[in-house]
Amino acid sequence: MPEALAERGRFGDRLAAAIAARTGLCFGIDPHPALLAGWDLADDADGVRDFGLRAVEGAAGRVGIVKPQVALFERHGAAGLTALAEVLAAARAAELIVIADTKRGDIGSTMDGYSAAWVDADAPFASDAVTLSPYLGFGSLAGAIGRAGEAGAGVFVLAATSNPEARDAQTATVRAGQHRGRTVAAANVAEAAALARGAVERGSLGDVGVVIGATVRLLDYGIAPADLAGVPVLAPGFGAQGARLGDVRSIFGAAAPQVLASSSRELLAGPLAELGERLDAATRELGR
């Protein structure tokens, strides 16, 4: 067993434990300019660093999972990425599950490079999991998935996203191979579910999850809740985008217990001094 995996344990097991302890609320750390202004912070690298560190401080002991939006740090160049590395390290030191929202996707050595940056145990942006795009083919992610597993990390693969531009591609029908007749979204779910079978037998979650927007209808994308057995579901769209935390079960049915209900602007907007109260209220709503 690789040393990193032996030290950290499997991502799916850690994630299942975090959900059991703190619910599946996923706190999105998104330093949008308006949110920075609301906390009296400058829209620069120092501002996003302070924003991220304060968000981590508010989350510690209240939620189990955070999801920094990489692009909103990266827009400040090298200094912004340095700030992001500090925020990621602080979140992991606070024993939070850290999902870096990178949406990377490529092939071969380029994908290996992304993996070395984000999921290796000693990576400069070491995270518990990253988001990946499968639209060069799910198989193009095999190296990243394998490398993440060896490091005790996980990945979340885009499946059914809520932006309208993606619908045609994600609901297109697969014409050949083992997933023939399924939608592209359902095929990606099936690949993740196949990788989760061993974890399901252990009563845990897989290391490969999928991203499904909370505002989409699963059946419109050819997905049934039963298809998601053992698959962690990262579900953005709660709060400002319209979905309600109290509706997780009605949206995802039997898969609700493994859903990471992601909310950012709804939690970040408002006085910093009241962030803890907003997080506690969101946790209560999700737990009902």
Q: Residue 246, Cβ neighbours under 10 Å: how many?
A: 14
- Identified catalytic residue from 54, 92, 103, 167: 103
Judged by phi (left if over 0) then psi (alpha if -120 to 50, else beta), residue 78 lies in alpha
Q: Does the annotation mark 67 as catalytic? A: no
Cα–Cα distance, 130 to 156 (Å, whole number): 6
In this structure, are residues 120 and 95 in contact, taking their beta carbons and an 8 Å threshold?
no
Return the ∠ at Cα 124 (arms to 86 and 132), rounded to 5°.
Answer: 100
In this structure, are residues 133 and 110 in contact, taking their beta carbons and an 8 Å threshold?
no
Q: How many helices (H) and strands (E) does the chain have?
A: 13, 8
Residues noted as catalytic: 103
